[in-house]
Amino acid sequence: MSVGSDSAVAPVADAGAGNWVDRYAPAFLRPYLRLARADRPIGSWLLLLPCWWSTALAAIAARQPYPDPKLLILFTIGAIAMRGAGCTWNDILDRDIDRKVARTRNRPLASGQVSVPAAFAFLALQLMVGLAVLLALPRFAVITGLASMGVVAIYPLMKRITSVPQLILGIAFSWGALMGWASVFRSIDDPALLLFAGAVSWVFGYDTIYAHQDREDDAIVGVRSTALLFGERTWFALSVSYGLTVLLFAGALVTAGAGLIAALGLFGFALLLYRQVRALD
């Protein structure tokens, strides 16, 4: 894998100062870790949480004392690998656009720190890790996981053709809400579908907020987003999106037979969403 001569410099603008990649990673690995967004692990958490929620919901419905630790570990590894793979694929397709946007022009592909062939090789490595995790799951869950690949593949292209690419991202990032349930029950039932729909609405909301930071640049280069679509009405769209999230999650808990602790957890989550809407600038 080839790396440009500036591999030890030019951190990405939104990575945050003093992140672990810039502080501790060997210089030759930094561009690849940045390509996988390892310097911003929040994305892996956002991909992982629906997997964990689904596993916990299935444990409740199956009257298990706790979620299967093996599944939780597998989903953790898989989320890290597939989030990195998704970011790598996104940057391969978006490298020309990224050069025109202030926040993304220092990304490894856009800045030339990583070549396109090297990025494809790195993508293949991450996909192999994800596949290894997937094959450790029951057969029905394997099929369910493979069904998501089409959505993952087309997401980076959606911002070119639709004003709601956040909806496609929501489907891709929420697929884990089906995976935990599928791994336990070898089926997809109403609680999992409600959890999945709620997670899609949640991702739609928070990524609409995130998209506002690129709104001006996106308008210039011709990229579409819900930030541009909603504009000053974002607070209303976010209220609807987050309201649906809470209602759908509540439906998932009720149909799975969840109790008071789960209800209190959802209440706390709803308060966090409310604070996000109130803080929207």
| Rounded Cα gap, residues 83 and 38, in angstroms | 9
How much is the pLDDT for 5?
44
Domain assignment present for residue 82? The answer is yes
Domain assignment present for residue 118? The answer is yes
Residue 257 sits in which domain range? 28-279
Domain assignment present for residue 263? The answer is yes
How much is the pLDDT for 30?
95
CATH number at residue 109: 1.10.357.140
How much is the pLDDT for 4?
47
Structure-token match 């390509």, residue found: 35
Beta strands in 142-214 (DSSP E): none
Domain assignment present for residue 207? The answer is yes
- Tally of structural domains, the chain: 1
How much is the pLDDT for 215?
87
Would you say 208 and 237 are in contact if contact means Cβ atoms under 8 Å apart?
yes
Tokens standing for residue 173: 């990032």
Kindly give the parts of the chain with pLDDT less than 70: 1-17, 281
Domain assignment present for residue 36? The answer is yes
pTM score over 0.75: yes
Structure-token match 């025109």, residue found: 100
Tokens standing for residue 25: 């990673």
Domain assignment present for residue 39? The answer is yes
Would you say 256 and 61 are in contact if contact means Cβ atoms under 8 Å apart?
yes
